[in-house]
């Protein structure tokens, strides 16, 4: 299989709580099993597929390939040894199972996919060993567990597989959220440092003190780092650049050398060979500290130095409000000192004058994001050297506007942080929902128990032909179910072919089903009374498009494909089972055998309905 199930099966707490029709039994009554081939060693097999090689399962799953497949068909491969022993994998087709695995074949009384979910529970297996755990197969295959009737197993699996599609879709959407939040953060910062965030504020506050007036009062010592500024010009993406390059500053702002409004200081590490230099009351910032406090005010550090360490090194005690930027190895972590501290040599430290708000400078560095790397050099480990640091220019608004930008950005960041927390909660809730669904499924609460569990005929298909309306209702559920089972967009002509298959009389349908899908597929459709109402297909397409259950796309070659839309119909386990059997035939339906009914379905009206815009 190409995906993981929702999780592991959990069963009723005691036999007395079994649903109607369920019974306590053992795996040995419903399966056969044996160990994987101990002569096939993972390290001696190919890690990549190639012509002439077939999938092979190790204790980690299907991660190697071997010649001469030893098995064919459907089975469950169990990790037999190691920390994750009891983990189960679904095998089908031609394959091998190698050392440290156990193979379990389902019998006629247990559905293979249901069995997979039963076995994919590491707590289900009786285990031995401590340093190297292993599964005790004999004890496990003799332990009692509850089993529903075969038809109910299949309904449970059909419902779970449909829910797994939704769960994977939800997880895929949730997986996009962190990147979207990060992009929103960078977009806000870029807008702020191009003047867009406070354009309205500038219009409403024309009388504020200009930056030029503030600069007349700025007096501070020049940088004590020795090398002169670089002549290079490297544009930034927001408010910073190396050299005076890039768009002009917004109205009322100035583009200035950063050294004209802040003093640059370096850091240092007192010798580790002198324990007396360490421990004390001087917080000392390292890269891990800056990583934890990135974009925030730093109040504590993991390491402390002392007066002796400062006296015997180039480390300096810097005042609160100093902006620290990591410039080596891990470039781009930025924080503001909340109290006097020292730093390692990995940091460029900026002591801001009254013309520059420290939090504004920190956010200016944040706004550049990964683009800060372009200010540095080095192929393996990028470093921003002091000549480039001394050449930094900044687009700077008046001090009052700097404070307003910081205030607005902090408010926006609070909202983004709340969204991130909501995302984390949604992920946790989805995990809980998956486990809750499994608990319901394997305690009899996910699908109803039917009194006639021995029936092998799809009851939903039986009623499909009784009237045009029922045919239409059947197709409205069948078409989305087929798309779910296919797990990919479906070409319109392929959909037409599958529906045309259902339009065949039983005498033609069953032999064709058996030829393509085997005896199991024929047994499933025995008793299926054929659909013959042509107009029901067009009506179903119209309804699915109108309710946005179905969406279409057309490629450059004019091929029309269909996908599930945002609105999904209720799930019917019986119809899902029909779709699952027929999805395997999507590329195998011989057009000449279904030509008469296919011609009635491939009409201009149907294509027009598919292409309609709701």
Q: Residue 351 above 90 pLDDT?
A: yes
CATH of the domain at 75: 3.90.220.20
Domain presence at residue 3: no
Domain presence at residue 425: yes
Q: Do residues 270 and 286 lie in contact, with contact meaning Cβ atoms separated by under 8 Å? A: no
More confident residue, 573 or 284: 284
More confident residue, 493 or 309: 309
Structure-token match 């160990």, residue found: 35
| Residue 531 pLDDT grade (very low, low, confident, very high; cuts 50, 70, 90) | low
Do residue 465 and residue 589 come from a single domain?
A: yes
Q: Do residues 603 and 509 lie in contact, with contact meaning Cβ atoms separated by under 8 Å? A: no
Please identify, among 132, 147, 162, the residue that sits at the C-terminal boundary of a domain.
147
d(CA 181, CA 190): 14
pLDDT confidence of residue 2: 38
pLDDT confidence of residue 223: 62
pLDDT tens track for 483-529? 888 888 888 888 878 887 777 776 677 777 777 777 777 777 766 65
Most confident of 16-20, 191-195, 600-604: 191-195
Q: How many domains does the chain have?
A: 4
Average pLDDT for 362-369: 96
| Helices (runs of H) and strands (runs of E) counted in the chain | 19, 26
Contacts of 205 (CB under 8 A, 6+ apart): 400, 401
pLDDT confidence of residue 456: 37
Do residue 494 and residue 581 come from a single domain?
A: yes
Domain presence at residue 4: no
Phi, psi values for residue 450, rounded to 5°: -100, 140
Which of 62-66, 274-278, 352-356, 587-591 shows the lowest mean pLDDT across its residues?
Answer: 587-591
Strand pairing of 75-79 and 101-106? antiparallel
Do residue 160 and residue 130 come from a single domain?
A: no
pLDDT confidence of residue 506: 66
Please identify, among 102, 125, 147, the residue that sits at the C-terminal boundary of a domain.
147
pLDDT confidence of residue 513: 76
pLDDT tens track for 229-252? 999 999 999 999 999 998 999 999
37: left (phi over 0), alpha (psi -120 to 50) or beta: beta
Which of 15-24, 106-115, 327-336 shows the lowest mean pLDDT across its residues?
Answer: 15-24
Phi, psi values for residue 380, rounded to 5°: -85, -55
Do residue 189 and residue 74 come from a single domain?
A: no
Q: Do residues 139 and 128 lie in contact, with contact meaning Cβ atoms separated by under 8 Å? A: no
More confident residue, 4 or 212: 212
Contacts of 117 (CB under 8 A, 6+ apart): 5, 8, 9, 157, 160, 438, 441, 442
pLDDT confidence of residue 381: 85
Average pLDDT for 209-232: 82
Phi, psi values for residue 81, rounded to 5°: -140, 145
Closest by CA to 376, choosing from 360, 392, 363, is 392
Contacts of 160 (CB under 8 A, 6+ apart): 5, 6, 117, 437, 438, 441, 446
Tokens standing for residue 102: 């156990």
Do residue 439 and residue 568 come from a single domain?
A: no
Domain presence at residue 492: yes
Full residue range of the structural domain in which residue 177 is found: 148-208+400-451
More confident residue, 533 or 124: 124
């Amino acid at each position: 299989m190409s995906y993981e199930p929702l999780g592991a099966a959990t069963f009723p707490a005691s036999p007395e709580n079994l649903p109607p029709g369920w019974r306590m039994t053992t795996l040995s009554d419903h399966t056969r099993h044996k160990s994987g081939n101990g002569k096939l060693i993972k390290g001696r097999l190919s890690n990549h597929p190639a012509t002439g090689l077939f999938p092979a399962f190790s204790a980690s799953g299907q991660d190697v390939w071997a010649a001469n497949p030893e098995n064919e068909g459907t089975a469950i491969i169990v990790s037999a040894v190691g920390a994750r022993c009891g983990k189960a994998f679904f095998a089908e087709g031609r394959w091998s199972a190698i050392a440290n695995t156990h193979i379990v074949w389902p019998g006629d009384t247990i559905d293979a996919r249901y069995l997979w979910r039963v076995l994919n529970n590491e707590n289900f297996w009786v285990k031995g060993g401590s340093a190297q755990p292993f599964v005790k197969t004999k004890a496990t295959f003799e332990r009692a567990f509850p089993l529903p009737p075969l038809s109910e197993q299949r309904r449970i699996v059909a419902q779970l597989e449909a829910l797994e599609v939704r769960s994977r879709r939800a997880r895929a959407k949730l997986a996009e959220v962190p990147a979207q939040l990060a992009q929103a953060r960078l977009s806000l910062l870029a807008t702020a440092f191009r003047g867009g965030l406070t354009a309205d504020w500038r219009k409403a506050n024309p009388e504020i003190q200009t930056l030029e007036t503030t600069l007349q009062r700025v007096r501070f010592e020049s940088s004590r780092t020795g090398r002169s500024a670089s002549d290079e010009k490297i544009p930034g993406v927001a408010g910073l650049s190396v050299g005076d390059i890039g768009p002009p500053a917004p109205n009322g702002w100035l583009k200035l050398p950063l050294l004209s409004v802040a003093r640059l200081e370096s850091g240092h590490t007192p010798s580790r060979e002198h324990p007396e230099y360490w421990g004390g009351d001087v917080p000392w910032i390292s890269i891990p500290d800056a990583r934890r406090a990135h974009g925030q005010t730093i109040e504590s550090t993991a390491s402390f130095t002392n007066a002796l360490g400062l006296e015997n090194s180039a480390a300096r005690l810097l005042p609160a409000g100093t902006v620290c930027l990591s410039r080596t190895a891990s470039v781009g972590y930025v924080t503001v000192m909340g109290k006097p501290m020292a730093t390692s040599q990995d940091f460029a430290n900026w002591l801001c004058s009254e013309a520059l708000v420290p939090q504004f400078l920190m956010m200016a560095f944040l706004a550049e994001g990964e683009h800060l790397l372009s200010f540095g050099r080095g192929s393996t480990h990028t470093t921003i050297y002091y000549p480039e640091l001394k050449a930094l220019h900044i687009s700077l608004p008046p001090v009052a506007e700097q404070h307003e930008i910081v205030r607005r950005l902090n408010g926006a960041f609070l909202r983004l942080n709340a969204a991130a927390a909501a995302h984390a909660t949604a992920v946790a809730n989805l995990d809980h929902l998956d486990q809750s669904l499994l608990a319901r499924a394997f305690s009899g609460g996910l699908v109803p128990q039917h009194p006639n569990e021995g029936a092998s005929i799809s009851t939903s298909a039986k009623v499909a032909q009784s009237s045009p309306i029922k045919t239409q209702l059947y197709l409205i559920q069948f078409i989305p179910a087929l798309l779910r089972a296919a797990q990919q967009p479906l070409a319109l002509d392929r959909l037409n072919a599958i529906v045309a298959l259902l339009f065949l009389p039983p005498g033609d349908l069953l032999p064709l089903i058996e030829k393509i899908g085997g005896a199991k597929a024929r047994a499933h459709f025995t008793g299926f009374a054929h659909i013959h109402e042509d107009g029901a297909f067009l009506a179903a397409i119209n309804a699915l498009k109108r309710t946005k259950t179905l969406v279409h796309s057309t490629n450059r070659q004019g091929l029309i494909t269909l996908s599930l839309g945002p609105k999904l119909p209720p799930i019917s386990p019986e119809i899902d089972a029909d779709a699952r059997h027929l999805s395997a035939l999507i590329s195998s339906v011989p057009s000449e055998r279904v030509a008469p009914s296919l011609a009635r379905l491939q009409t201009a009206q149907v294509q027009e309905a598919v292409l309609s815009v709701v």
